[in-house]
């Protein structure tokens, strides 16, 4: 009988929680999401410029490293060129892609 009372109390508490949870979840959520959307949109252009500047710096560093290896006579620079070029291309294209994907 004790287990039956405990089960009844737990069932009542669970049903009460399921009835109240949707009401608690609706408190100001739309306004917060709209504010976050506006904030992210205002920050996106400076972030995009910073990412592109980082891509330019990475490209310069990669170019210097590849030039250094080449002048030192290293014959296996193809992997290095592909790696650095891929990283630069990624850093330049990703901000454009993300902006287009989210309509910014």
* CA atoms of 92 and 71, how far apart (whole Å): 28
Least confident of 2-6, 61-65, 69-73: 2-6
* Residue 5 located in a structural domain: no
Number of structural domains the chain divides into: 1
Note the pLDDT of residue 62: 86
pTM given for the model: 0.56
* Residue 28 located in a structural domain: no
Query: Residue 80 in contact with residue 65, Cβ under 8 Å?
Result: yes
Mean pLDDT computed over 43-49? 85
* Residue 91 located in a structural domain: yes
Cα separations in angstroms, 97 against 28, 60, 67, 74, 104: 31, 23, 30, 36, 10
SS3 102: coil
Q: Which two tokens stand for residue 55?
A: 């891509």
The domain of 54 spans 36-103
* Residue 10 located in a structural domain: no
Q: Which two tokens stand for residue 13?
A: 């508490």
* Residue 70 located in a structural domain: yes
* Residue 77 located in a structural domain: yes
* Residue 87 located in a structural domain: yes
* Residue 13 located in a structural domain: no
Mean pLDDT computed over 85-103? 82
For residue 27, pLDDT beyond 70: no
Confidence tier at 24 by pLDDT (50, 70, 90): low
């Amino acid at each position: 009988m004790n287990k039956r009372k405990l089960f009844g109390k737990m069932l009542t508490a669970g049903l009460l929680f399921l009835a109240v949870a949707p009401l608690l979840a609706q408190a100001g959520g739309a306004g917060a999401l709209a504010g976050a959307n506006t904030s992210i949109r205002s920050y996106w252009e400076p972030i995009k410029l910073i990412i592109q500047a980082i891509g330019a710096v990475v490209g310069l560093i990669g170019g210097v490293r590849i030039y250094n290896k080449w002048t030192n006579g290293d014959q296996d620079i193809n992997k290095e060129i592909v790696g650095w070029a891929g990283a630069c291309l990624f850093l330049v294209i990703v901000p454009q892609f993300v902006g287009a994907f989210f309509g910014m």
